[in-house]
Structure 1
């Protein structure tokens, strides 16, 4: 029997602040596209930095994305969070 412990909002926020990297998922040409990505969390906004390429093309076409963050200590002690949202391109002004 598995002991499943859901994280509360405070614990999720702490994990997001602690880890700083995850896997960004988007849809491209009808298929999921996932890549490792560093991120910065400020308040409730998640910022990622990337150069122009396949992922930016996919996010421009479909801004629905997810970011999966995990903290693994060993095979039994780990936790993860999936954050769903919409990508918005920010450029320097």
Structure 2
């Protein structure tokens, strides 16, 4: 059994820092552009959800439901902003609020 350790390069760390600090990234968009952007993201999420549901087993759905319930309990205790910061700092993919099931 082997273990592979993976770490970011200095350039990767710099990119991650930019990705983590996304405050103000949408400031230059108009309300209409943000509305359209949200619409497209919603459509994209729905398309992914449809594909995921095609391959997900009931066990997968149950595990995700359990995870989502834990996240919601954390949100109740921490509040939206603190949970967002926590998820951003502890997830390799940024905030994890997407729920496919």
Q: TM-score, normalised by structure 2?
A: 0.23
Would you tell me which structure has more helix in proportion to its own residues?
A: 2
Would you tell me which structure has more strand in proportion to its own residues?
A: 1
Q: TM-score, normalised by structure 1?
A: 0.24
Structure number with larger C-alpha Rg: 2
